[in-house]
Structures are given as C-alpha cells and as structure tokens.
Structure 1
Amino acid sequence: MRYVREDNGPWYRQPWPWLLMIPPVTAVFVGMILLRAATYEPDGLVVADYYREGRAINEVLERERFAAQLGLGGELVREGERFVLRMEGTPLPPAPLTLRLLHPTRANKDAEIRLTHDAHNGAWVGNLATLPTARWHVHLEPEDRSWRLRGRLEPDASRVTVSAGG
C-alpha cells in the first residue's frame, strides 16, 4: 500500500512559500538600512570648491614655514575641560591664540577654543566643555593668522606636541 499525502490547505500554511520569501524581504530591509546610513550625515571629506582649497595650500605652507623660522613649538596639555599651552622658541606677545580641534571625517564635530595668556605661569589657557573621544587634528594660530602649528591629539591622550611640521 502506498501512502500519498495530499495538501489541500491554503498556500500560506505551507512552509515553502515563506522560505522562498526570506531572501527578497531581507534584501529590502538591508537596502533601507543602507539608504538611511548613506543619507544620515553629509560627507565631510568632500570639498565643494576644491580649486580654491588647492590654491590656498601654498598660503598654509608659507605660514608653517614662518613658524619654523621663528622656532615656534609647544606642548598642549588637556586637563579635563581645560587646555594649557606652553610655547617654546621666539617669545610671543601675550595676545590670544586660536586652537582648532578638527575631527578627521566630520566637520560638524570640529571645535574652536580661544586661548588667553595667563601671566602667572606664562602659558595660554582655554576651556572646552565636551570633546568626544576621537583622533583630533590640532591647529594653533594667532588671531592675525601669520603662522600656524599643527599636532595630533590621540584618543585618551592628555598631551600633544604642536610644531611647524605637524
């Protein structure tokens, strides 16, 4: 005697249609997630006016050469919310300095701090409430932008050396 099973039930009670639908449904959900990730934040690495930025590189290099001629350098120390800068080389007037902390990929996370001269310890001091953990590019320059020093603040580091070569 031979047993033949007849399935006369509706299609949605069968396992095969559901198993065949898993890959297309998964592809739709993954596509929606990728679309959301691609449009969440603008790409910070793309420069709108690349020609003007390329021409400005010579000005930046000249400012760094001038800082090297002056023998400028220093050490930036992060103490919680406080940044303390001790300069070396040619003595500078006690004018304020601008410290820029640039995120490598997200321009909207960049921070700018105004460092003022503290006559008691001969250093420049500034405060920044929050700084997310990241590898930061450090740019230091006076208000007249005549020279520039660079450095890199590593995650979880409290000190960075700023110099003309970066």
Structure 2
Amino acid sequence: MESIFTTEKPQQKHWYQEPWMLLVIGGPAIVIVASFYLAFLAYKGADHVIAPDYYKRGLAINVDIRRDMAARERGLEAGLQIDESTRAVSLRLSGQGSLPPTLALRLSRPAGEGTEEIVLKANLLQAGAGVYRGKLDWPAALDANAAFLWQVNLDGGDWRLTSGWYGPIHAAVTIKPAG
C-alpha cells in the first residue's frame, strides 16, 4: 500500500504564471497606458485658449467701442445703395458735426466652407452735403443677385458704423450705430 503522505513538495507556480494575477494587474496596467496615450493626445492637439496678442486685441476692442459710441453720440446714420450694373456706390450720411471728406467702406461675407471670406472695399468721396460716391469692384464669380448675410463697416476715422443685412449686394441698407 502506498503512503498517502509524500515527502515531495508540490510544484508551485511563480506569481506571474497565475491566471488570476493577469486580471489583478492587467486592468490597472491598461488604464495607465491609456492615460499616458490620452495625455499625449491632449498635449499635441491642445487648443490655444489665449491668443498670444490678447492684450493688443483687448485694447483694439476698446478703441472700436469708443468709435461706436462716438457715432452714436453724433447721431450718425447712413443709407447705402449699390448699383449692380455700374457697381457705383451711393451713400447718404446724416448726423451732427462735420463730416469727413472721405469714408472707407468694407463689405464682407463668408465665402463658403472654412474661415475664408469675401471682402469688398471702396473709398467714398464726398460729392455733396452728406452724399458720398465711389465704385465697388467685386470678382466676376460673385453672384450679385444671390442673397447672403453681408457685414458692412463704414469707417469715418474717429467713428465707425457697422451693420449686417441679408440680401443681394445691390439691396438698399440703412446703417445705424451699434449699441
């Protein structure tokens, strides 16, 4: 009869050979590797929340606000009309105080996809009391009859008028001070 008791020591597995250890260590190890990968992605693709020239931009906003307030205090208001066939710009400006001899007109709208925009500029010369005229050039590919959201900016030096309108470029628009 063989003995139930043996003097041989049972073969023990090393700790890394145990299947349960893979579950105990494997989960946290995967989480650590994934967190390093996500930290790398966050660092590489980080959005820049603050612009490098944020202080200059802030000062420029204050200047624009002062220019808008100056236009409001003077009671300035403009009526803009663009002739589609001749591309002639006619502007009637009313308000208190002296009017400048020239004005800078800027029209802009999104070009489509992305951040591109179409910008049209014209210098307007005073043709009479409160009447300004100029010529606006736009690319041949621009459909003047299509309705878009246009942003208009009328610059008079120490004041500005801004407005937006939806319609074709040759539609009449009234520009009043922001505020």
TM over 0.5: yes
**Counterpart check, 1:159 vs 2:169:** no
Where does residue 88 of structure 1 map in the other structure?
A: 94
Structure-2 change in CA distance of 1:91 and 1:77 (3 Å)? farther
Tell me which amino acid in the other structure corresponds to 2:174. Answer: T
Where does residue 114 of structure 1 map in the other structure?
A: 123
**Counterpart check, 1:101 vs 2:107:** yes
Q: Equivalent residues in 2 for 1:7-156 (5 A)?
A: 49-80=53-84, 81-93=87-99, 95-104=101-110, 105-107=115-117, 109-119=118-128, 122-130=130-138, 132=142, 133=146, 134-142=148-156, 145-156=157-168
Q: Is the 8 A contact 2:78 2:92 kept in 1?
A: yes
RMSD: 2.4
Distance 2:178 2:56 in 1: 23
| Percent of residue pairs bearing the same amino acid type | 30
Aligned length: 116
Deviation at 1:52, TM superposition (A): 2.3
Structure-2 change in CA distance of 1:106 and 1:72 (3 Å)? same
Distance 2:134 2:105 in 1: 9
Tell me which amino acid in the other structure corresponds to 1:56. Answer: A
Structure-2 change in CA distance of 1:127 and 1:153 (3 Å)? farther
Partner SS state of residue 56, structure 1: helix
TM-score relative to the length of structure 2? 0.56
Q: Is the 8 A contact 1:153 1:159 kept in 2?
A: no
TM-score relative to the length of structure 1? 0.60
Structure-2 change in CA distance of 1:48 and 1:127 (3 Å)? farther
Gaps in structure 2 of 5+ consecutive residues: 1-50
Q: Is the 8 A contact 1:138 1:150 kept in 2?
A: yes
Gaps in structure 1 of 5+ consecutive residues: 1-46
Deviation at 1:54, TM superposition (A): 2.9
Bigger Rg, structure 1 or 2: 2
Q: Is the 8 A contact 1:116 1:126 kept in 2?
A: yes
Where does residue 14 of structure 1 map in the other structure?
A: none
Structure-2 change in CA distance of 1:52 and 1:103 (3 Å)? farther
Distance 1:129 1:57 in 2: 29
Deviation at 1:151, TM superposition (A): 1.4
Deviation at 1:49, TM superposition (A): 4.0
Q: Is the 8 A contact 2:154 2:161 kept in 1?
A: yes
Deviation at 1:64, TM superposition (A): 0.4
